[in-house]
Structure 1
């Protein structure tokens, strides 16, 4: 069974893959929730390079400053703001992602067996990862937007609860309000997930002989793949976060009173950020994102592989 488990991430029945992906998403989210809140707060900070009022204010706060501010004014629960929609996001995202990844790989393999297409392993992993990421991002985007908005709430409450937020967005922004920034999300996830799975599949086999306290090299491959991929596409993640807090309640979120209105698409938003805040603003929060990416990906892939293995063994013994 060990050699079977190490052979391919997408092996297993459809039910096993969905269950293992969901478990991996839940465990990963619980572990990295505080880092996620810190990253979002950093990405939403606004500091104009030309506005005299803004220029006289303090430079954008660092990670420790943001953490201390949350602890002082919001308490420890502030680090888990948005956790309910985020748990739903990670649960459904993980399930859809791994199911789509498995299904795409199987479809490509079927075409290869018929001689209709021949794709190298790394390219196949990239294509499958990109399709899986796009499907998962689109299907779960409303939860992603809600997670961001709750995490962006400071001491001022924008929404009193999850149901209230859904009613408010529906009433004042319409159904499209739940998909603000989706184009940036898809534009980010295609290269990110494609690169992630390509790196992961390429590294998993060479690292399979590495023995670590918590298992094989699955976690190391996941960490490496995530860090490299995340660094490449991070500016699009910042654009996505800025777009997600647009709308009637924009000024109520952290840093929103001075932040410009972004309503002209990805390129225009990115150009506005660079023009007003400098190119470094696109990478604000990258350090936290990379710190988050390492344990998140390691826990996700490690938990997924183990959960899938346990489910397979359970079915064999039943």
Structure 2
């Protein structure tokens, strides 16, 4: 009976996470596409940066509203959902693995094999459990993250080739939280995580598009082996693009993180409660 209960809990967590991730990703896809376009753009996005670096070539995208307008004009509405299918294939398993692993780790950390929904841990154990769950989810979904980045970074006309190459939402369920409270928790968690991790996300995107053939109007491409490692990438981006280079796309990323985290929280809770009722 105990094993059956654990399997049921894992199924509920995984299924609710999968559905919540799919809803959140589809709703916020336009902001994600805009964010990636900025992150893979090597040219500085401000006029003063261009003058300081003695660069004459302007960047394709200079602001969130300008990028939105240009993408819509050049690629139409579907351009904002470019790469959404592999994004769903990435995010849905990611959130499914994350929620399922997180609950099991929290149960283990609490020193209990029980399958109750509400397990209370110290902040340190909650952080470690969330981090490990995020790592497991990242490993399981990374190939689709790579494909999503390649598709989203392509403009029109598309140039194709074969390529090579964390965002962890720490979520814990609390008893009696309203939908508004869940929404606010998701908003705060998503925003803080993006602000802290954004430079590493920029570096990840640069590695993912090494050697990618792109239309010249989208700017210089990242050549093969442009960066030796993560620290070399950080140093080179700082040298050429300044601190602003590490935060390219931070506006759409932050705007996206808030509703994405909030929608994920709320959708997960409602889906989880519905599945529990249906399986009782």
TM-score, structure 2 as length reference: 0.85
The reply on whether 1:276 has 2:240 as its aligned counterpart is: yes
RMSD of Structure 2 on Structure 1 (CA): 2.8
The residue number in structure 2 matching 1:184 is none
User: Partners in 2 of 1:95 and 1:112 — Cα distance?
Assistant: 21
What's the CA shift string for 1:37-82, capped at 9, x where partnerless?
0110111122255799972233551111111111111111111100
The residue number in structure 2 matching 1:56 is 56
SS at the partner of 1:257?
coil
The residue number in structure 2 matching 1:21 is 17
User: Partners in 1 of 2:83 and 2:209 — Cα distance?
Assistant: 14
The residue number in structure 2 matching 1:66 is 67
Does the C-alpha gap of structure 1 residues 111 and 17 become closer, same or farther in structure 2, counting only changes over 3 Å? Answer: closer
User: Partners in 2 of 1:12 and 1:66 — Cα distance?
Assistant: 45
Does the C-alpha gap of structure 1 residues 120 and 313 become closer, same or farther in structure 2, counting only changes over 3 Å? Answer: closer
What's the CA shift string for 1:121-147, capped at 9, x where partnerless?
111110011111111111111100110
The structure with more helix, counted as a fraction of residues: 1
SS at the partner of 1:158?
coil
SS at the partner of 1:157?
coil
- Written as runs of structure 1 = structure 2, the 5 A alignment for 1:291-310 is 291-310=255-274
User: Partners in 2 of 1:227 and 1:254 — Cα distance?
Assistant: 32
- Written as runs of structure 1 = structure 2, the 5 A alignment for 1:2-41 is 13-41=9-37
User: Partners in 1 of 2:196 and 2:19 — Cα distance?
Assistant: 28
User: Partners in 2 of 1:238 and 1:40 — Cα distance?
Assistant: 8
C-alpha contact (below 8 Å) 2:20/2:267 kept by paired residues = yes
The residue number in structure 1 matching 2:135 is 134
Segments of structure 1 that go 5 or more residues without pairing to the other structure are 1-9, 114-118, 160-164, 170-176, 181-187
Does the C-alpha gap of structure 1 residues 54 and 308 become closer, same or farther in structure 2, counting only changes over 3 Å? Answer: farther
